Structure 1
Amino acid sequence: MTDAPPRRDDTDGRRQTTAPRFFDDIAGLRGVAVLLVVLFHAHVPFVTGGFIGVDVFFVISGFLITRGLIREYEKNQTISFRGFYARRARRIIPAAALVIVVSIIGAALTMPLLKVFKQAIDLLAAAAQLANWHFIAQNADYLAGAMDGSLAAHFWSLSIEEQLYFVWPLTIFAAAALVAKTPLRRWLPMRMSVGIVVGLVSAASLFAAIWLTPRDPAAAYMATYSRAWQFGVGGLLAVVAPALIGRGRTAKLNTPIALVIGWLGLAGLLYAAIAINAQTPYPGTAALLPTGAAALIIASGQMAGTGLPFVGRVLDTPPLRFLGRVSYAWYLWHWPAIVLFEEATGITSWPTLLAVSVVALGIATASTMLFEEPIIGNTELRRNASASTSVGVTGIVVGLVATMSVGVATVKVASQDTVANASLSYQSVFGVENTEMSGPVVPNPFQAYDDRPEPNACLVPVGDRAPSQSCVFGPDDGAPVVLFGDSHAEQWVESIREIGSQHGWRIHQFTKAACPAQNLPQQRGLPDPFVKQDCLDWRRDALEQIVALKPKIIFVSSLSTYVPKRETAEQAWNDTLTTLRLTGAQLVYIADTPYPGFQIADCMSGAMDDWNKCDFAFDDYPRFEPILEMPKGRGKDRIITLSVNDLLCEGNTCFPARNKILFYRDESHLTATAAEVLEPALVKQLDSAGFDYRAG
């Protein structure tokens, strides 16, 4: 992505002697790749797989970098690591640092404090060349849109390239020296040795990508080791390039071969951009198509002569070569432009976002010609490796300092909005008229995300099938009580434990993130966690344990927006309730709380002067809770239903806070503080239902 094709007058300090168009097709291919990415990010219809442009960049970079390293070793019998890293430093880091600094300034001018802080953390990781691992640690699924609001989302691929640039020359040197400096040189050519090593690394990386994709989508998509194989495919092309070129000049047979594979490659690339989408398990085996297509296009260009209508002639057109020239800068600038525009205006229509991307192309052109290329072409920097390295280090430091400074400043400002000695009682929050609609809240929006039930390990993470610790609370001889459901059930665990402590309950917690209590079936083509095998296995095992436990009381709750069809929700609840009724326990259902659909804490961090800025409508999202409409039954078949929604909303309008208490820690869940405050409301409704706390 970051390595432009060698210039005709400068390839690592050596003059090019090949035909003028030898790498112009690669420049055009870079133009196609960046155009696909931009169209995808602008949500242009039908370009659902435009993200495969990044795969193309990986192949191109692997080809160019490996080619340069092999040629250098063939000429000098060594590789200048100092020179290699110096070239990367001046070519890549300054332009990225400029975008990082402008992005964090843009965030500070357009976003609420908490969002600015989050952007600073993301951009800090980008400046440190660790964006991919930062997002993996957050389990952020790129294709599911988990990173769409981050100004640093596109830096994941740049970080992978930077990490590969660090280890790749060492790998090539080791493979070359293995035969060139040992008796193996008698039997094994240097290029073959490099090809074997690169091939083994690529095969291991491809296996990791395929294995990880269904198990850990975030890691599969963004981990360096699961993407190295695409870099390696380009490297293998570089190994065999002399053979391709030689035959292309001497054998007429290669003319039709080059023609066919070139057009096949371009057709495969365009088909992948249209046929692949966010629901495709990726990279998995699906990435073989765009990766192989890019390799075919490059191979065709290496084989082709001049004057023939190869794909290279299409890629060699001035518009595509221009996009290839500015591709790095356009990739850097277009995404922050889209994110900041959406934040400032709320407009998300694809024609508008495409227009914003075109404006970003203008910025990228200026950045390339006035900033990036003058640094790359500077005579002193090209001559002095230490100076080039210093430029790169300076860029990293500037990015780190800018993001850390903004992050620290936001925390200092936010710390001023803290409630001192806030009352946490139900009476002080809901027993008086709600007259306060501005001012500090508790928890502070910066603290809200961590204001969650303890121990959090009892909420089984996505991908796991069991908690990492015992999740049973209360006296050994207490009446067995169960809490069952997803994270919307888990948000009530401390309230239920408080009730249980007054009645001698022994509470068994069965909760898993993004895995509903209702028995939703597995559905092909959906990437959502609730249809994955780990969720199905956990729910089956949890229900078996609950039946064996024979509890007296079962509390159930679940997110109500999993599926858009009432019939599916009804059948799923019927399946679960049939199993739970086998226990003979009293069933208590806690109605799903209002679903904001946006980060309430982020919004509130910029709305301390008017909390109503963060109001939302109760019916913004379709909710299906057929359990609320089921016949209540009698005796042990009776289902008691509880709801606090009339306390969180008035009519269809729901509030983010009330009388100094912040209700939500994110886009969906109550803060532990709010759940604690609402506990008396649950008790009041249980009392009204004539609930028997001793045995259900």
Structure 2
Amino acid sequence: MPYEAPTQPMHALQVEPDATPTSLMRAAPTTFFDDIAGLRGVAVLLVVLFHSHVPYLTGGFVGVDVFFVISGFLITGLLVREYERHERISLRGFFARRARRIIPPAALVIVVSIIGAAIFMPLLKVFKQALDLLAAAAQVANWHFIQQNADYLAGAIDGSLATHFWSLAIEAQLYFIWPFLVIGAGALATRTRLRERLSVRWSVGIAVLVVSVASLVWAVVLTPTDPATAYMATYTRAWQFGVGGLVAICLPMLARFGALRAGGPVALVLGWAGLAGIVVAAFIVNAHTPYPGTAALLPTAGAALVIASGCAVGSGSVFVGRLLATPPLKFLGRVSYAWYLWHWPAIVLYEAVVGSSSWPVLLAVSAGSLVLATISTLLFEEPLLHNRELKRNDSASISLGLTGVVAALAVTMTAGVITVQVASRDTVANASLTYQSVFGTDSGEQSGPVTPNPFQAFDDRPQPFECLIPVGDTAPRENCVFGPANGIPVVLFGDSHADQWAESIRNIGADHGWRIHQFTKAACPAQHLRPQPRIPDPYVKPDCQEWREETLKRIAEVGPRIIFVSSLSTYVPDRVVSEAAWTHTMIQLRNTGAKLVYIADTPYPGFQVADCISGSMDDWTKCEFGFDDYPRIEPIIDPVSRDEYQDVAKLSVNDLLCKGNSCFAAHNKILFYRDDSHLTATAARVLEPALRAQLDKQRFDYNAG
């Protein structure tokens, strides 16, 4: 993470004695910023160890929280001191320093990363990486991932080369906002009637405190309901930046406190307690901890205490600053920005080539990236940072930053365009695909173009898209009822694995006069799964529980004659829990008096099939997977529970999608999966005759009279 190194030692920052509050600041040791560098070293080490999956360090991501506090401390301190001296802030100079310090190293990593992706990743994956890195280059990676509802702690974006740019984007956005906050608060203290009662420092402190409290409250409220946004939104992380800023604002008081007889021992205890808080958080916080929420208070307060301790007493032999100022930690702090930038692409590209690896291997890869980070720091980052002409000429620094942004944007956009152009050459006519052409021939083609094209697969979903209620919502965005008003009432109920059959059910219903009511919600199973301890998955969230209860009431009101139900079979690997959940739901569905039809869950790949196929056009078998690779619990079709569900009609296409335990990703020109779990709409349409044939074989009463 970037920070602005001081241009002079701390003792030189002391203000000459006068009537202002800053005259209370005593000289601090010149080693103070060595403490800050060491703290940055601790922070980056925690993040790297976490990303390397080192055992027990489940909360190493709290290193990012420490970075936010450090940045807030340094940036706020610089801005306040400048405003106190000149009653103004040079925005041109401020942004020039940011541009020179932050953008060139990040742009270099972005360019190298997309080149690495082009060399080592399949075509569709390169395109996705280009989109992610494009957002990183534009300093909006956090909002890009939020838009995807990507839960960082759940590993939703672990395969992205730009994952770690979410925090850099937040800092860049705060760097743009913070000077105006200081200027506005400073103006109140110097250009209004408040100047007689309010100093610049106190005015800025109040403004930062208000912003920080509002941000913290927002984070705590949002964490349980929208963890992805709470974790990566600028407004839910600003409070950590503000905590560092408050320490900087209180610098004169901290210095005065350290001079008191009791100040030193208290600062000593608080400093070590702060470091202990950071380390403890790194071990006790994990992916199941609602975060940031209140859990982020521990590492944030810990970082603030360490910095405050250094402000008060410096780096005496028994103080925490002494440890942080040791050469190894100072060195890590020096290269921390570069190491943070380089280590994650190194891990992702390595795993793209060799697959998932053990933590010792990933740790070795991260260590190798430290060598690269050191070279980058010494030969690229620091020469630009300390270049005399760039330091003298703000316009040149800003131009350098803009050039870095433009270069990163241009390279990533070019990579995206090229991949699309290459992929567009590989497609086959959708109309040529039928049940007979795909499953009625023994040719078994295993290479060549497929439909949908891997680049089109993600959007090859049942329409209207709005009938699948997204995670976090409880109501559809349109009326999802299809068929004649006086038709036979039929219900389709379940999660996205039910939704993938929506068009097929509607086509069958069109031949029998059905009035179909669709009730489907993403990541919300039909079975009544209740919240599990330490399980953060969407299916346990209040919106899912509320939707299911309300939907079962609405189904009863519809009075259906037929109910089609389907659901993902891998939510819970515990048979007892799953059976109880299905029993609860099936009792309520049976109470409607409707004929129940269960569509067996389709095979679960567990990886992005379209990505794989885009790099395996010469041999689709490279993307095959095992039917039992993931524990599947389906009591309705399980032989153990079969007697309890004799009244339920069962449909399954799995014998067509798999041969034995080996399941196809593509077959006879058709791509079966659009992502890591769902069938393409094209595949569902092709499989529709199989559903009809099974209903006919069971002498199904389409009127259910």
Whether TM-score is above 0.5 comes out as yes
Note the alpha carbon deviations across 1:11-62, whole angstroms, 9 max, x for none. Answer: 9999998522121111100000000000000000011000000000000000
- Kindly tell me: are residues 283 and 158 of structure 1, through their superposed partners in 2, closer, same or farther at Cα, counting changes over 3 Å? same
* Alpha-carbon distance in 2 for matches of 1:660, 1:306: 68
* Alpha-carbon distance in 1 for matches of 2:314, 2:499: 66
Question: How many angstroms does 1:424 deviate by?
Answer: 2.4
Aligned position for 1:418: 427
AA at the equivalent of 2:233: A
* Alpha-carbon distance in 2 for matches of 1:672, 1:451: 5
Question: For 1:446, what is the secondary structure of its paired residue?
Answer: coil
Structural mapping, 1:130-149, within 5 Å: 130-149=140-159
1:219 to 226, 229, 240: 229
2:611 to 602, 612, 616: 602
Structure 1: tracts of 5 or more residues without a match: none
* Alpha-carbon distance in 2 for matches of 1:139, 1:19: 46
Question: For 2:610, what is the secondary structure of its paired residue?
Answer: helix
Aligned position for 2:2: 2
Quick check: 1:633–1:639 contact (8 Å CA) kept in 2? Answer: no
Quick check: 1:4–1:325 contact (8 Å CA) kept in 2? Answer: no
1:490 to 475, 492, 499: 499
Note the alpha carbon deviations across 1:205-230, whole angstroms, 9 max, x for none. Answer: 11110111011111100010110000
TM-score using structure 1 length:
0.98
Question: For 2:85, what is the secondary structure of its paired residue?
Answer: helix
- Kindly tell me: are residues 114 and 10 of structure 1, through their superposed partners in 2, closer, same or farther at Cα, counting changes over 3 Å? farther
Aligned position for 1:56: 66
AA at the equivalent of 2:675: D
Q: How many residues align?
A: 694
Structural mapping, 1:414-563, within 5 Å: 414-420=423-429, 422-563=431-572
Aligned position for 2:183: 173
1:206 to 216, 220, 245: 216
Task: Please state if 1:343 is matched with 2:352.
Answer: yes
AA at the equivalent of 2:123: L
Question: For 1:509, what is the secondary structure of its paired residue?
Answer: strand
Quick check: 1:662–1:671 contact (8 Å CA) kept in 2? Answer: yes
Question: For 1:628, what is the secondary structure of its paired residue?
Answer: coil
Task: Please state if 1:620 is matched with 2:613.
Answer: no
1:643 to 652, 655, 667: 652
Task: Please state if 1:583 is matched with 2:592.
Answer: yes
Question: How many angstroms does 1:439 deviate by?
Answer: 0.5
Quick check: 2:189–2:195 contact (8 Å CA) kept in 1? Answer: yes
Question: How many angstroms does 1:166 deviate by?
Answer: 0.5
Note the alpha carbon deviations across 1:545-601, whole angstroms, 9 max, x for none. Answer: 112222100001010000011111111111111111101111100000000000000
Structural mapping, 1:151-166, within 5 Å: 151-166=161-176
Note the alpha carbon deviations across 1:404-454, whole angstroms, 9 max, x for none. Answer: 000000000001101136512111111111431110001000000000001
Question: How many angstroms does 1:307 deviate by?
Answer: 3.5
Quick check: 2:509–2:516 contact (8 Å CA) kept in 1? Answer: yes
AA at the equivalent of 1:215: T
Q: Which portions of structure 1, spanning 4 or more consecutive aligned residues, are displaced by more than 6 angstroms?
A: 9-17, 630-634
Question: For 1:554, what is the secondary structure of its paired residue?
Answer: strand
* Alpha-carbon distance in 2 for matches of 1:168, 1:457: 39
Aligned position for 1:184: 194
* Alpha-carbon distance in 2 for matches of 1:242, 1:13: 11
Aligned position for 2:254: 244
* Alpha-carbon distance in 1 for matches of 2:617, 2:336: 41
* Alpha-carbon distance in 1 for matches of 2:344, 2:219: 26
* Alpha-carbon distance in 1 for matches of 2:161, 2:130: 9
Task: Please state if 1:123 is matched with 2:167.
Answer: no
* Alpha-carbon distance in 2 for matches of 1:694, 1:563: 35
Structural mapping, 1:285-434, within 5 Å: 285-305=294-314, 307-420=316-429, 422-434=431-443
Structure 2: tracts of 5 or more residues without a match: 16-25
Question: For 1:28, what is the secondary structure of its paired residue?
Answer: helix
Question: For 2:596, what is the secondary structure of its paired residue?
Answer: strand
Question: How many angstroms does 1:521 deviate by?
Answer: 1.4
* Alpha-carbon distance in 2 for matches of 1:54, 1:521: 33
Aligned position for 2:104: 94
Question: For 1:595, what is the secondary structure of its paired residue?
Answer: coil
Question: How many angstroms does 1:638 deviate by?
Answer: 1.2
Quick check: 1:209–1:227 contact (8 Å CA) kept in 2? Answer: yes
Question: How many angstroms does 1:695 deviate by?
Answer: 2.1
* Alpha-carbon distance in 2 for matches of 1:684, 1:34: 59
AA at the equivalent of 2:95: Y
Quick check: 2:114–2:133 contact (8 Å CA) kept in 1? Answer: yes
* Alpha-carbon distance in 2 for matches of 1:10, 1:253: 23
Note the alpha carbon deviations across 1:156-177, whole angstroms, 9 max, x for none. Answer: 0000000000010111011011
Quick check: 2:32–2:315 contact (8 Å CA) kept in 1? Answer: no
Question: For 1:481, what is the secondary structure of its paired residue?
Answer: strand
* Alpha-carbon distance in 2 for matches of 1:6, 1:36: 25
AA at the equivalent of 1:388: S
AA at the equivalent of 1:175: A
- Kindly tell me: are residues 10 and 259 of structure 1, through their superposed partners in 2, closer, same or farther at Cα, counting changes over 3 Å? closer
Question: For 2:456, what is the secondary structure of its paired residue?
Answer: helix
CA-based RMSD of the aligned residues comes to 1.8
Quick check: 2:189–2:198 contact (8 Å CA) kept in 1? Answer: yes
Structural mapping, 1:227-242, within 5 Å: 227-242=237-252
* Alpha-carbon distance in 2 for matches of 1:219, 1:197: 24
TM-score using structure 2 length:
0.96
Question: For 2:185, what is the secondary structure of its paired residue?
Answer: helix
Question: How many angstroms does 1:182 deviate by?
Answer: 1.6
Note the alpha carbon deviations across 1:338-365, whole angstroms, 9 max, x for none. Answer: 0000001114210000000000000000
AA at the equivalent of 2:694: Q
Note the alpha carbon deviations across 1:132-164, whole angstroms, 9 max, x for none. Answer: 000000000000000100000000000000000
Quick check: 2:10–2:27 contact (8 Å CA) kept in 1? Answer: no
* Alpha-carbon distance in 1 for matches of 2:279, 2:53: 16
* Alpha-carbon distance in 1 for matches of 2:195, 2:581: 66
Bigger shift: 623-632 or 271-280? 623-632
Question: For 2:249, what is the secondary structure of its paired residue?
Answer: helix
Question: For 1:589, what is the secondary structure of its paired residue?
Answer: strand
Note the alpha carbon deviations across 1:503-561, whole angstroms, 9 max, x for none. Answer: 00000001110011111112232100111111111111111111222210000101000
* Alpha-carbon distance in 1 for matches of 2:38, 2:416: 39
Question: How many angstroms does 1:189 deviate by?
Answer: 1.4
Task: Please state if 1:660 is matched with 2:660.
Answer: no
Aligned position for 2:21: none
Question: For 1:115, what is the secondary structure of its paired residue?
Answer: helix
Bigger shift: 624-633 or 576-585? 624-633
- Kindly tell me: are residues 561 and 434 of structure 1, through their superposed partners in 2, closer, same or farther at Cα, counting changes over 3 Å? farther
Question: How many angstroms does 1:326 deviate by?
Answer: 0.3
* Alpha-carbon distance in 2 for matches of 1:500, 1:48: 50
Question: For 1:685, what is the secondary structure of its paired residue?
Answer: helix
* Alpha-carbon distance in 1 for matches of 2:511, 2:12: 76
Question: For 2:628, what is the secondary structure of its paired residue?
Answer: helix
Quick check: 1:101–1:399 contact (8 Å CA) kept in 2? Answer: yes
